[in-house]
Amino acid sequence: MTEAAQFDAEEQGQMRASFARGETPVCPRCHVAMTARAIGGGSFGLGYARKREWLICPACRRSALFDVKRGTRN
């Protein structure tokens, strides 16, 4: 079995869209509800702070990280 360890772009897009709709994202590989963890970042003194979401599958342990405001991985 040569299944990739990381989610592909389409899978990540599905998870981001689900999260943006206020739904609990489901792992596209094993179909289990993913755990969401908010991650703050940036320096408060510099005038910016990113709000990121880290989606983790409790079954296969794969994860995806994205910028909430932009809806991207960076």
Task: Order across the sheet with 35-40: list the strands.
Answer: 35-40, 51-56, 63-67
Predicted TM-score (pTM) of the model is: 0.73
CA dist 65 → 22, 39, 73 (Å): 17, 9, 6
Output the average pLDDT for the chain: 82
Residue 28 has pLDDT above 60, yes or no: yes
13 token code pair: 């897009």
pLDDT for res 55: 92
